Homo-oligomer: A and B are copies of this chain.
Amino acid sequence: MAEKLPSRSENFADWYNQLVLKAELADYAPVRGCMVVRPYGWALWENIQAALDRRFKETGHVNAAFPLFIPMHFLEKEKEHVEGFSPELAVVTHGGGEKLEEPLVVRPTSETIIGYMYAKWIKSYRDLPVLINQWGNVVRWELRTKLFLRTLEFYWQEGHTAHATEEEAREETLRMLGVYADFAINEAAVPVIQGVKSESEKFAGAVQSTTIEAMMGDKRALQAGTSHFLGQNFAKAFDIQYLDRNNTLQYVWTTSWGLSTRFIGAIIMVHGDDQGLVLPPRLAPIQVVIVPIYRNESQKSEVMEAVRRVGGELTEAGIRVKVDDRDEVTPGFKFNDWEMRGVPLRIEIGPKDVEKGSVALARRDIPGREGKSFVPQAGIAQTVAEMLTTIQDALLARATAFRDANIHDPKDYAELQEVVKDGWAFSWWCGDAECEAKVKADTKATTRCIPLEGVEGEGKCIVCGKKATQKVYFARAY
């Protein structure tokens, strides 16, 4: 705690790794590549879960739980799916002291086992649509890991829906992408771009993958959530058929969509600064910390009386508040500590504040004097609620401005190679996988997405110069 964080601008990777540990969001587990999500990190995830789950239920979805273990041969039923996931599997070969006849895979994602169950449950058009989501853990045997961003086990939700028609399934895919974007922008203050993945970047087994892409503080891209239109690929692999109104057997159309604890990494990397985390008020486990300031026992008792009263009023108003009444550390230490943990607003109350019936407010997003104000204790709950909204809006505005300032429109391939070293390129692309592969080989930048909103007109592919009707974002990504 006494040690300072590495500088964010000088060493973004070290800053990130140390911040996750210091802020007690997560820790390394004794199993390679696994993480422990500590209570402060889990409280943040619980707030993310609540914000998403509310949106899922508002759009007609229900939750369920499917098994952790999947028979190995299930994965083999969808050719692209097994090719995509087999290098990353954790395999259970023994159970109850005996070798299993067929090894079980620890789920890397659940399309196959859910597809099997849907085939059992879905009989008629009356059973459709099926709109199920699952909150849980999955395992992918990654070689290079990083807390939250890429771990062997991670936590997520995976929605799996089945529909009578292609149109409905395509609508669902985009509806849930929209839910993710709404969550990211309005809850996490992370301005994401909604778009379609290229063929080479899509999910193993999907017909079309859509994504929300965010720009991190080091200008690299992060895929922050995905929604897939699976066509009839899994319906055919698992024989999910229904009798339509004309009594004809039809395959269903399915989708899947997921957002994971990786999103916590996005929040850290979009908003954090040299002092530590900066959490968006709507998701922050602690929205306001109150630090009492006093020099002797008589000051302490009058200060603590005001602290408790103000704290009580904020709690009453539904604001998540913590009173830091530790005796063994100084107020200065507390300021640094809570700044590092990203609490959006600090309230200081000292003897003078008691006298004047005021408090000092310090905004986390604006360091120093500029972010400080003095307000009356009367009406404090409303003042604080408004300030939290202001901070939320300011974080989104700042992240949006940063993103927009770092998206470039290079005039030629040489310039593209330059700009993706420290930003994104938004360029015409003919759609050929070869052009995409060339950019990746030359620059490590990949196509992130073709934005949903599209572009007018046409241009020339930034790589090969052929006619192009779409623009794509190129960026180095996590």
With A and B bound together, what is the CA distance between A101 and B180 in angstroms?
A: 40
B residues in contact with A333, CB < 8 Å: none
Q: Is the interface of A mostly helix, strand, loop or mixed?
A: mixed
Q: Does A441 sit at the interface, judged by CB under 8 A?
A: no
Stretch at the interface among A8-16, A84-92, A213-221, A346-354: A84-92
Per-position binary interface string of chain A over residues 48-85, scored 1 when its CB falls under 8 Å from any chain B CB and 0 otherwise: 00000000000000111111111100100000000000
Distance (Å) between the CB of A155 and the closest chain B CB? 6
Question: Is B69's CB under 8 angstroms from A153's CB?
Answer: yes
Most buried by B among A67, A104, A116: A67
Whether B67 and A35, one on each chain, are in contact in the complex, defined by CB atoms closer than 8 angstroms, is yes
Answer whether A63 and B92 are a contact pair too, CB < 8 Å, given A34-B69, A69-B34, A69-B153.
Answer: no
Q: Are B120 and A27 in contact (CB under 8 A)?
A: yes
A113 in the interface (beta carbon within 8 A): yes
Tell me how far the C-beta of A31 lies from the nearest C-beta in chain B, rounded to whole angstroms.
Answer: 5
| A283, CB-defined interface residue at 8 Å | no
Complex Cα distance, B68 from A69, in Å, reads 12
Q: Within 8 Å CB of A104, what residues of B?
A: 31, 90
Stretch at the interface among A133-141, A195-203, A369-377, A415-423: A133-141
Partner-contacting stretch, out of A36-44, A290-298, A315-323: A36-44
Q: A96-B88, A106-B92 are in contact. Are A42 and B64 (CB under 8 A)?
A: yes
Q: How large is the interface on A (under 10, 10 to 19, 20 to 34, 35 or more residues)?
A: 35 or more
B89 x A63 contact (CB < 8 A) = no
Whole-angstrom CA separation of A73 from B6 in the bound complex: 36
Which of B31, B62, B67 is A67 in contact with, Cβ under 8 Å? B31
Closest residue of chain B to A114 (Cβ to Cβ) is: B36
Q: Is the CB of B155 within 8 A of A117?
A: no
A61 to chain B, nearest CB (A): 9
Nearest 4 Cβ contacts at the A-B interface: A96-B141, A39-B62, A34-B67, A37-B65
Q: What are 18 A-B residue pairs whose CB atoms fall within 8 Å in the complex?
A: A29-B67, A29-B117, A30-B74, A31-B104, A35-B67, A37-B65, A43-B63, A65-B137, A65-B155, A68-B137, A68-B153, A69-B139, A69-B152, A89-B94, A89-B96, A91-B93, A95-B152, A96-B143
